[in-house]
Structure 1
Amino acid sequence: MDRRRFITSVVAAAGVAGPFAGVACAAAQGGVKPVRGYGPLRPVRDLRDGKVRLHLPDGFKYRSFSVAGDKFTDGSIVPGRHDGMAAFAGPKGSAVLIRNHEVNGPVGAFGDKDRAYDPMAGGGTSTLRVTRYGEVINSAPSLNGTMMNCSGGPMVWRAWVSCEETVNGPDVADDFSGGDNSKLTEKHGYIFEVPVGRAATARPIRSAGRFPHESAAFDPSSGAIYLTEDNFAFPSGFYRYLPPKHPVLAGRLLDGGRLQMLAVKGAKRKDLSLGQRPGAAYATTWVDIDDPDPAFRGRPTNDEVVQAVGRQGREEGAAIFARLEGAVHHQGTIYFVSTQGGATATGDTAPDGFGDGRGQVWAYETWSGRLKLVYESPRSSVLDLPDNVTASKRGTLVLCEDGDGDNYLRGVTKAGEIFDFSRLEPISGDPGAEFAGSTFGPGGHTLYVNIQARQGMSIAIWGPWQRGPF
């Protein structure tokens, strides 16, 4: 299908309701009980080395691969902090994975430093071709010299957009990590395009803003890129970037477009980080960000710079969210996660950072402009600080937790019901280990996911998907 016919077909489908169109969000007040899903979880040994890393339902198997500290097939070293990821169809039934590495600080670029955006920055992406059973065919760095590459999103023209969750740079005072920003050679806080099959150009899309980017979700009918902001200590916003030319027609994502921030009609600076009523829905509009890549005098604090873009939107009435993280496009709807949104449940303590809840899932209908609450966690034992999100072919969401205790992969069905699919076995000496980067491979045979840990790794999971909601 040529590009113009592709755009025509997706515009015709844009009015199809998303999979959660009928959900009245009974879960917002704890009214929906967890469903069986695929059944109880049990410890399962990793087919790579026999260790128990995951608890899964009966019939499911997995293999870990591409562990931090190992070598890529090109001989360079695999960095850590595996995070957001997408799977694309590869030759002979394989999958091509593009994977983020959320490395902070001026620690030096991995891979070929001559290709690095900033040779002092240690984040970026790697590209791997793997079988549907997690066997690596080839692997190599694909974007290096970026920083805190958290999540991003797959693009239909066979590319991944990687997002920097930071505003570090030589023009900004040091952040919470204690790294010396004066050692950096470039400004950070941008999005980068990484094409399938070749290395990235390492050119930032500056018009899409300089702020702590988290995820990117592409709407093929309009060509807009929807962006989330994970501003840990301050309010976050939901954005869209309107490129100067439809990316499918251009064959890539162009700089020079317009950045906007979502607002609720008739309610300036509506605080959506708070607990919501069942069935909450809002009519929305968009406000322009006049200066998406501001310049600064002197060397301002990191706190000042991290709010510079979002403050512009809120001054024009944009809505307030708590830590927006994962986002995914499915059937004309953008689903995105507010990690600390919602009301603090009885018995739960409020988490650190901005927002007191244990998580919300929102749905933005691109054709109507309506924003709806899909799910709000009633308590941490049901859903605890969701992060990355993806959707199955059936429209069930997969949520990666970044909670305080045991971390799970949870499913949210089209009826708004939640279930447990996998529990991460605690890692000795690494209580911060979490799931990240869930993505279904070609044909839906395999769910690929990352364990973000001190010794991060990727995992391929397969089994009787037809038995449950995925």
Structure 2
Amino acid sequence: MPTTRRQALARTGAVGAAVAFSGALSELFAGTAEAQATGGKAGYGPLVPDPEGLLDLPKGFHYKVLSREGDPMRSGEGKVPSNHDGMAAFPASRSHGHGNGKGHGNGSGHGKGVTWLVRNHENRMSGRIAVPTVKGLTYDPEAKGGCTVLELDRHNNVLDERVGIAGTSTNCAGGPSLWDTWLTCEETEFKAGEEGHTKDHGYIFEVGFDRRRPTSVEPLKAMGRFQHEAVAFDPRTGAVYETEDAFDKPFGLFYRFLPRKPKGGYGSLHAGGRLEAMRVPGVPDLSAVTETGKSFGGIEWVEVPDPEAKETPIRFQDFGKGGITHAQKLEGCYWGGSSVYFVSSFAHSSEGSQGDHLGQVWRYDPRRNRLTLVIVFGPETDIQLPGSEPDNICLAPSGGLMVCEDGGGAQHVFGVTKRGKVYAMARGAQNIGTPDKPEWGEFAGAAFSPDHRTMYLNCYTPGTTFAITGPWEH
């Protein structure tokens, strides 16, 4: 990858950087409950170097390390796996214990204020510490990825840590369902027999937390077999939007899944449905669009010929006259107000894209059937503005965003208020390189607790999960 502004900044030792972008941030939050909040001041002040060398935060904020790769899990199932990635927090029920409905779990019922934190592990076959296989929770015993679940009390003390699903591969991101389960996504297309796998991969799985909604190791095949990244539900219709982070050209697609039982509750996604891909008339590649505010009507949704990709990966399939719309590095995806937002982390013409950018955020309004480019990160002209390559994104209590970057050099989480103010919220301090050539693991999985008092955050390498508390604006 060419030297970016952030890499150049890291070499100079400069601090207090901000994201460069163009676009109307207010549009990201239009119609949401969060839009009624103050919108946030311009950050919480400069980042303070952490004497422990783990995580730099503004003054007044504190972190607690909840879990680190290699430590023993409280369940006794094995070590905490590597490659911490996408994550979400859910309120736990007072009266229902955890488990897979087959004797795993003890119905702890720890009471009011308990939170379930579910965490992906993006292990491929070469992952350092695999997700331990557990009876009833394992899809393919030869695959190394999956999810773990932490049960936390109101003070972020870890009550339990256990396997949520095992035997999946390259679990990158996902998203919460409308009924408080986690959809974990495989970012791979391995087939049975490839690299030692015994089953096909590239699916979505539903991870549950209690006996009423247990984890299912049956893949949601109708939702497609491809290099999944993230999902977001339309709460009005039950439609599910999905992003594809394909590694090579042709790049990924943006999908819509129409369940046969929309909003049917736990287990309903197994009833199947129709998978479609987005076609923007006249736009074969979203990277070619550079003007923020540019909007396209008449969006077409084309049925995927073979959702399970039995012979041909979906992005290579024939979508008929007009083709289909691709985009490089489609990653984060979330629902806000009346629209779904999705992220293209970057595009490089040298790698086959029709344009170059350091990150886009797109908004699709299903009622108006309209797609709009709302944010463009960059350009690379000012090394004092190092923000680039947005990945995981979540809504903040103040009504803004938290953006995890995924690129070279220093690694930050940036806050973005709904008024367009941008500030550094966290900076990684764990050097995984050398003193002469420092490197830092990317951030992922930013998510807020149900009471909005804690931001949970993963460092991918070394796998570390933080709980961050402080004077969050509400």
TM-score, normalised on structure 1? Answer: 0.80
Aligned to 2:269: 253
C-alpha contact 2:341 2:361 (8 A) present in aligned 1: yes
**For structure 1, which segment, 444-453 or 125-134, has the greater mean C-alpha deviation from structure 2 after superposition?**
125-134
1:93 counterpart (105, 113, 122) = 113
- Matched to 1:52, the amino acid is G
The number of residues matched between the two structures is 407
Cα deviation digits, residues 366-416 of structure 1 (max 9, x gap): 322222222111236442211111112443121111111111111223234
Aligned to 1:434: 442
Q: Answer yes or no: is 1:425 the counterpart of 2:429.
A: yes
Deviation at 1:132, TM superposition (A): 4.8
**For structure 1, which segment, 392-401 or 200-209, has the greater mean C-alpha deviation from structure 2 after superposition?**
392-401
Aligned positions of 1:172-321 closer than 5 A: 181-198=194-211, 199-234=214-249, 235-249=251-265, 252-264=268-280, 266-267=281-282, 269-283=283-297, 284-296=299-311, 307-309=313-315, 311-313=317-319, 316-321=322-327
Identity of aligned residues (%): 39
C-alpha contact 1:133 1:460 (8 A) present in aligned 2: no
Aligned to 1:8: none
Counterparts in 2 of 1:252 and 1:457: CA distance versus 1, 3 Å: farther
| In 1, Cα distance between equivalents of 2:177 and 2:163 | 19
| In 1, Cα distance between equivalents of 2:55 and 2:288 | 33
**For structure 1, which segment, 437-446 or 134-143, has the greater mean C-alpha deviation from structure 2 after superposition?**
134-143
| In 2, Cα distance between equivalents of 1:109 and 1:133 | 27
- Matched to 1:273, the amino acid is S
C-alpha contact 1:392 1:398 (8 A) present in aligned 2: yes
Aligned positions of 1:48-447 closer than 5 A: 51-76=52-77, 77-90=79-92, 91-105=111-125, 110-112=132-134, 115-170=137-192, 181-198=194-211, 199-234=214-249, 235-249=251-265, 252-264=268-280, 266-267=281-282, 269-283=283-297, 284-296=299-311, 307-309=313-315, 311-313=317-319, 316-341=322-347, 356-379=356-379, 381-429=385-433, 431=439, 433-447=441-455
Deviation at 1:440, TM superposition (A): 0.5
RMSD: 2.6
Aligned to 1:9: none
Query: What SS does the aligned partner of 2:451 have?
Result: helix
TM-score, normalised on structure 2? Answer: 0.80
C-alpha contact 2:29 2:337 (8 A) present in aligned 1: no
Deviation at 1:197, TM superposition (A): 2.1
C-alpha contact 1:206 1:255 (8 A) present in aligned 2: no
| In 2, Cα distance between equivalents of 1:52 and 1:458 | 15
- Matched to 2:113, the amino acid is G
C-alpha contact 2:430 2:440 (8 A) present in aligned 1: no
Query: What SS does the aligned partner of 2:222 have?
Result: helix
| In 1, Cα distance between equivalents of 2:159 and 2:351 | 41
C-alpha contact 1:54 1:423 (8 A) present in aligned 2: yes
Deviation at 1:426, TM superposition (A): 4.3
Query: What SS does the aligned partner of 1:254 have?
Result: helix
Gaps of 5+ in 1: 1-16, 23-34, 46-50, 172-180, 297-304, 345-349
Deviation at 1:231, TM superposition (A): 0.7
Gaps of 5+ in 2: 1-25, 32-40, 93-110
Cα deviation digits, residues 118-166 of structure 1 (max 9, x gap): 0000101111111354421111101110000000001120100000000
- Matched to 1:94, the amino acid is V
Counterparts in 2 of 1:316 and 1:223: CA distance versus 1, 3 Å: farther
- Matched to 2:376, the amino acid is E
C-alpha contact 1:117 1:144 (8 A) present in aligned 2: yes
- Matched to 2:278, the amino acid is L
| In 2, Cα distance between equivalents of 1:92 and 1:206 | 36
Cα deviation digits, residues 161-181 of structure 1 (max 9, x gap): 00000001225xxxxxxxxx2
